[in-house]
Chains A and B, each alone.
Chain A
Amino acid sequence: MAEMKTAAYICSGCGLGDKLDIAQLGKIAQKEGKMALVREHDFLCNTEGVQMIRDDIEKEGVTHICIAACSRRAKTEAFHFPAVAMTRANLREGVIWVVAEGSEHDEVRQEMADDYVRMGCAELKKVKLPEGNPNRTQLKSIMVVGGGMSGLTAAFEAAESGYQVILVEKQAQLGGWANKLWKRVPYKAPYAEPQDTGVAKLAAKVSSHPLIKVHLNSTIAETSGAPGRFAVKIAQESGAVTEAAVGAIVQATGFTNYDIAKLPELGGGQANVVDQAGLEALAQAANGGALKRADGKEIKSVVFLQCAGQRDDTAKHLPYCSGHCCATSIKQAMYFKDANPEVNAVVVYQDLRVPGMGEDFYRSAQHKGVIFAKGKASGVEPTGNGCKVNYRDMILDADATLEADLVVLATGQVPSAGVNLDIWDTVVREADGGSEAAKQQKSELQKISVLNLNYRQGPDMPQFKYGFADSHFICFPYETRRTGIYAAGPVRRPMDMLQATEDATGAALKAIQAVENASLGRAAHPRSGDLSYPIVRLEGCTQCKRCTVECPFGAIDEDERRFPVFNEQRCRRCGTCMGACPVRVISFENYSVDTVGNQIKAVEIPDEFSEKPRVLILACENDAYPALDMAGLSRIVYSAFVRIIPVRCLGSVNTIWITDALNSGYDGVMMMGCKKGDDYQCHFVKGSELANYRMSKIGDTLTQMGLEPERVSSFEVAITDNARVAGFINEFVAQLVKMGPSPMKGFG
């Protein structure tokens, strides 16, 4: 696109024409916005209006368009012009729907619309049509790590969709835990009887699939690269190393059972106490017949203790519920009842949790005569030829005992997620400092690492709570902070086999999406399909490392001269690096310090005697901006003194915008982003947290400028907060009015 030709289109539909002086907006676009072409239309999104724009693009050679109509989130199908750069001035949701009715508000309403047109035109001059990441590969194979039920499912589903798969399994055979089960909890109607696991059949299908290459007895020695170009070294037990190139990775490394040796109070270590895996082994040995103990005695009475070493609030054992164990114990109690209805099987539970269709399974067990006792076990003692369980009956509120030939402890799932990066960071720091013990520990950690990533952020993906592999728990479960690497199954959160297979299918689809996007030079989730990518002007870089450290996705490495190396395929396009960069050398073609800075400067600031404060709102486009649109949709009125600019993530907010705004006479700045902290809702995980941290440092700057620190404030806004967000705005503006106009006015 050699020459830039701009055009502004101003719509007077949807009541815009009744409430606003459209001719004046046109004049502003022409005179102040310097648009080469300005057109008005009374129904811009209809066929005729859209055709008008298309004609201009074709015949007039328009390359940049500003549409002054509705929100950028509305009418996206009509206003889809992939060949030109576009900005949107939000006059409908942003102005006429939120400014109070009545002619006394005509002036402020018009001023607001004028400013949005100015901002749209100003932004337009700084945006380029994104061309997509030039580093593209056509490598679309997918590596699945782990050959259990999740891994097998992910591999099979990806291969069935036509993608090459490399499956790496540590053990000598496929199947994982599922191999060790006699039966599985039913996954088909009527959900009444334990069913065959089907794992042998699935493993056979995977082994013989023409698109799947299986590596047994193998682990990952090293992973480097990015989506579309991962280079993996697969180490066999024998020592041989195979190198492979893959486009995306699914980590389905599962779990181990919580060690019952840690539960001596519940009989862990006693001969007649087993965990659920131990019981499966007895059931496999019985092969459908009567179950016998290790010592050969036929089991006539069995007690299952739920939540053994789980849901523990003493910090000694697992604090969480593993979700599957109630249904698993029900299934195992049925092993006994099905072989011999006279066996006395009691399940001692605190809360019986049977998600999915488990309630039917529970009922079926009751029909078969399994006894369920709500209670909490306090101890298991060996007796002459069995065990005595002491427990508190929570219904009868009394201590009680049960005699049994065998006690089964329902222990929880412990994820096999590799290295805890928090520990890794400390160890690496100490090892770099010369500590021999730390060096030793580092090599130990490398041994337990699953992926052995050579990223600067550490060898595995970050861990979420309780050591489970990363997952954007609330919104995008398969997403991790390592782009193109997806966690599936119990490594990500505790789950049963049915959930794990669904999970694996989802993760396989995400992996496919990642390789396809990488092949087109587009972003992965959550800006899936975005063609813009970070461009860095290295000659201005001061090697401060802030971008490499703050990138939530580990997309940026450092070269030997400590300059940042962008792995665009790993990048999620949140702009956190752009917000972090103190010398502002990072930008996107259609989103940069200038595109926002120009908008900030385009707003006309009334003088200090006008009693018209101006407030800049930087709103996260994922949640806060939709909430603001929704406020408009429900006609919730808020102050007409605000000017809203959507940002990709609060993490992309560069403090220069704040100081620029205050310098040019804005009275205050509101930043609206997603919830931060442990239960974050930030689409980019760390963006809102980082923004909050940076803003906590801005108080000093404000004080130096002679401004009250309260003039800049952050707000957590969820997508459902349409009513709340109007309240925030009105309160903030009222507070500013009380504070009086900014002393910077007139100096900008």
Chain B
Amino acid sequence: MNDLNQQAAAHYGKNFLKEVEDRVEDGEWVKMCMQCGVCAGSCPLGPHWEHSPQKIFRMIMAGKRDEVLSSDSMWMCTSCYNCIVRCPRKLPITHIMHGLAHYAHKLNIAPKGQPTREVARLFWNSLVQTGRVNELKFSLAVYFKDGFVRGIKNALAMQGIGLKLMKAKRLNPMEILGGHKCKDAGGIKKMLAKAKEIEDRRQGFSS
């Protein structure tokens, strides 16, 4: 267990619901779930979730902290918003799932190598460097995230599409040399740092 996670667990004890309410985006909605299961039935990826949103909410109320935060369930959310549209209690379920995933990532107890988590991390890393996502580098990074051999195979498999994109001038191979940046990359970085500071303060991490 890492420091941040230990601190949080110690601070909230058995009251995981309170932790979620305080620290997870839209977490204060969790207690309003009435366990009807409409979200679980509406999710197009439902069968691929270890725990449906309905169960996640019940687990939070039952204090099952580690099971929830280390689960890959909320990483399965594709943001289709079916559950939000249908929830009779108007819970922003999609946002809560993202919030939980984000919180688990931040505490670094989200499942390692979880594809959504990894792609999101690569996307973010690419974005913060120049203020723009470098599509070529990002694609290559995704191809090679599971090792060199796997990466070559992925790249070969996607070769045809890549060539077509180049022909259509949708992909510039020169981007590999650094690519174009936004006008004020430093400003972007400052802005993101400020946002993190605000978020940390709100979640109680800053002190």
Contacts and interface: CB of A to CB of B under 8 A. Distances in A.
B59 A373 contact: no
Nearest to B59: A396
B34 A366 contact: yes
Interface in B64-94: 89
A371 B89 contact: no
B32 A366 contact: yes
A132 interface: no
Interface in A358-373: 362-363, 366-367, 369, 371-373
B148 to A, nearest CB: 42
A396 B55 contact: yes
A594 interface: no
A369 B61 CA distance: 10
Nearest to B17: A371
B31 A400 contact: no
A372 B35 contact: yes
Interface string A356-400: 000000110011010111100000000000000000010110001
Contacts of B55: 395-396
A396 B62 contact: yes
Contacts of B105: none
Contacts of B34: 352, 362, 366, 372
A400 B58 CA distance: 13
A336 to B, nearest CB: 15
Nearest to A365: B31
Interface in A311-356: 352
Consensus secondary structure, chain A interface: mixed
B54 interface: yes
Contacts of A363: 32, 89
Contact of B61 (A362, A367, A373): A373
Given A363-B89, A395-B54, A396-B55, A371 B61 contact: yes
A395 B58 contact: yes
B62 A366 contact: no
Interface in B1-47: 17, 31-32, 34-35
Nearest to A369: B31
A374 B34 CA distance: 9
A320 B35 CA distance: 23
A373 B62 contact: yes
Nearest to A368: B31
Contacts of A400: 62
A393 B54 CA distance: 13
A396 B58 contact: yes
Interface string B116-149: 0000000000000000000000000000000000
Contacts of A373: 58, 61-62
Interface of B is mostly: helix
A372 B36 CA distance: 12
A36 to B, nearest CB: 70
A150 to B, nearest CB: 31
A388 to B, nearest CB: 15
A393 B58 contact: yes
B1 to A, nearest CB: 24
B31 A395 contact: no
Task: Categorize the interface residue count of chain A.
Answer: 10 to 19
Nearest to A400: B62
B31 A371 contact: yes
Contacts of A374: 35, 58
Contacts of B61: 371-373
Contacts of B59: 396
A366 B34 CA distance: 9
Nearest to B30: A366
Contacts of B17: 371
A16 B192 CA distance: 87
Residue with the highest number of chain A CB atoms closer than 10 Å, among B54, B58, B59, B61: B58
Q: Which of A352, A363, A367, A371 neighbours the largest number of chain B CB atoms within 10 Å of its CB?
A: A371
Given A363-B89, A373-B61, A395 B35 contact: yes
A737 B31 CA distance: 69
Nearest to A352: B34
Nearest to B29: A366
A395 B36 CA distance: 10
A366 B35 contact: no
Contacts of B89: 363
Contacts of A367: 31-32
Contacts of A371: 17, 31, 61
A299 B61 CA distance: 20
A372 B34 CA distance: 8
A367 B33 CA distance: 10
A352 B89 CA distance: 15
Nearest to B15: A344
Contacts of A362: 34
Contacts of A372: 34-35, 61
Interface string B98-122: 0000000000000000000000000
A369 B35 CA distance: 15
A400 B32 CA distance: 21
Nearest to B57: A395
Contacts of A395: 35, 54-55, 58
Interface string A498-514: 00000000000000000
A705 B184 CA distance: 109
Nearest to A359: B34
Contacts of B31: 366-367, 369, 371
Contacts of B58: 373-374, 393, 395-396
A573 to B, nearest CB: 49
Interface string A392-415: 010110001000000000000000
A491 B34 CA distance: 32
Nearest to A362: B34
A581 to B, nearest CB: 58
A372 B17 CA distance: 13
B93 to A, nearest CB: 15
Contacts of A396: 55, 58-59, 62
A396 B31 CA distance: 16
B127 to A, nearest CB: 38
B62 A393 contact: yes
Nearest to B61: A371
10 contacts: A363-B32, A363-B89, A366-B34, A367-B31, A367-B32, A372-B35, A373-B61, A393-B58, A395-B54, A395-B55
Given A396-B55, A396-B59, A396-B62, 4 more contacts: A367-B31, A373-B58, A374-B35, A396-B58
Interface of B: 17, 31-32, 34-35, 54-55, 58-59, 61-62, 89
7 closest A-B pairs by CB: A395-B58, A366-B32, A374-B35, A371-B61, A366-B31, A395-B35, A396-B58
